[in-house]
Chain A
Amino acid sequence: MNNNSLSKILFHIDMDAYFAACEIASRPYLKGKPLVVTNHYRHIVLTASYEARAFGIKTGMPLYRAQQLCKTLKIVFADPDKYISTTGSIHELLLTITDRFEPLSIDEVIMDVTQVSSNYCDAAKLAYKIKFEVKKQIGVTCSIGISPSRSISKYASGVNKPDGLHVISKNNFWNELKNIPASEIAGIGSSTKLLLKSVGVYTCIDLHKCRIEILLKLFGQNAFHLKSLILNDAVKTFYDREAAKSISSSHTLIKDTDNIEILTSFLEFLVWKVSDKLKMEGLTATEVSLSIRYEDFTHSNHSTTLKEPVNSTSMLYNIGKAILSFYLPLKKKVRLLCFRVKCIEPRYKQLTFLNMQKSSRFEVACQKINRKYGNFTVKPAMVMLFEAFGKPEKVIPPVFTDIYGKTYRATR
């Protein structure tokens, strides 16, 4: 096999136990202690420190189970602003080296260093420099995988975690592929793994050598994607982001419910978020979908295509409500709602009807207030129902006093 296609040097930079690392860096007294970061409502382990992982605690585990495994476990509530801000600082640091990197998630980056490193020796030195600077300037550690391919770099970054570095250079690339199970590649899940095994594909080299006709029979058009996984080396620049194909907002409820008023309120909350993003980018959408995850983790999805592109909050909300009615009557409690708009295009049409203009002016005014004073400073009263749902009784503001001093409990 020739090495012509292995011309690039790619870094996959993966932060180690990122949320936990940020918390430890900001609270040094937590260093060396078993720690988990959890959310406020569902009490699921979002990230566990390496000390906690030694007790068998894993991401996604219920908090009570984690506490059973480790009696001295420290628990910290997640602070998304902290993590987003820290990621921004890491990106700024990486931009001083090259702008040829793509953030893959909040704690992962794929970086093309071909232009700044002439060979793998230089690349390894650069990787050590990045690790050193991230630790010194940000206060967290990262693991870096180096190889000529995106997927293999990602695999390599996980080899020596935490604070590790693993290089798969183009000279030993094909040999290494023989030892890497195909299921280790991101994008190959358990079902795909089973299908691949049925045609004798166990390792990455098997996948690379497998004829496309065989994969096409198994996976249809996805076969091309699978086949390209091993040698994909395309990396965009940091500034060259792909235009969004869809915008969605999903949220897990504090507790499962089949109360339609709560779900409608929840839907309005999601619609506001999606509509806000659409307006901020000056976009409209012609396809709307609503997905539901039930208490037993089964899914259902309904969507509708519109004649005219929209971005109005009230119109999207009405469409969302109409889709929600398809699910009624609910047979199971709902765990998660996801509101999504697709077929996105720039807004080109002015609204013509007077009432629409009024509604639009109102929404623009709300948007301006929220920009200035923070998200959901102004919000529909209906959203407050969802916000209060599942929280302790004292948080719900149901009592008010009239001008005669008489108190009322808010009822619907």
Chain B
Amino acid sequence: MNQCITASVTFKKGELIPNWFTYAGEQHKIDRILFRWKKKEGHETIFYFAVEADSTPYSLSFSTRNMSWYIEQEEACEQ
């Protein structure tokens, strides 16, 4: 996937909290943030969020390079 999406966020005490995002023409309200982490690539910081919306887990990311939100590709390798 790694598809650019529209998202609504709140900045709370220096923390980035995604509220909802639009994906595949539908708006998804985020019920829970399950896990969050960040990664630095030079000056760029990418914030990752594992979220639950409508009982479905999604992986979102936010890049400070272009201030864009993405739906991330799953990397789990099931054999």
What is the interface of chain A, defined by CB distance below 8 A to chain B? Answer: 22, 25-30, 67, 73-77, 79, 81-82, 85-86, 89, 138-139, 370-375, 377
- A371 with B79, Cβ < 8 A, contacts A82-B37, A139-B35 known: no
A370 CA / B40 CA spacing, docked (Å): 12
Residues of chain B with a CB closer than 8 A to A372's CB: 42-43
Assess the A67–B79 pair: CB atoms within 8 A: yes
Partner of A374 from B35, B42, B76, B77 at Cβ < 8 Å? B42
Chain B contact residues: helix, strand, loop or mixed: strand
A82 CA / B76 CA spacing, docked (Å): 14
> Would you list 16 pairs from A and B whose C-beta atoms are within 8 A, ordered by A residue?
A22-B35, A22-B37, A26-B34, A27-B57, A27-B74, A28-B50, A30-B76, A74-B76, A75-B77, A75-B78, A82-B39, A138-B35, A373-B41, A373-B42, A374-B40, A374-B42
Residues of chain A with a CB closer than 8 A to B75's CB: 76-77, 79
Residues of chain B with a CB closer than 8 A to A27's CB: 50, 57, 74, 76
List 8 extra interface pairs beyond A27-B76, A89-B36, CB under 8 A: A22-B35, A28-B50, A28-B52, A28-B57, A81-B39, A139-B34, A374-B42, A374-B44
Q: What size tier do the contact residues of chain B reach?
A: 20 to 34
Residues of chain A with a CB closer than 8 A to B78's CB: 74-75
Residues of chain A with a CB closer than 8 A to B37's CB: 22, 26, 81-82, 85-86, 89
What is the interface of chain B, defined by CB distance below 8 A to chain A? Answer: 34-44, 48, 50, 52, 57, 59, 74-79
The A/B interface has a contact count, at CB < 8 Å, of 65
Residues of chain B with a CB closer than 8 A to A77's CB: 75, 77
Residues of chain B with a CB closer than 8 A to A86's CB: 35, 37
Residues of chain B with a CB closer than 8 A to A138's CB: 35
A199 CA / B79 CA spacing, docked (Å): 51
Assess the B76–A85 pair: CB atoms within 8 A: no
Residues of chain B with a CB closer than 8 A to A76's CB: 75-77
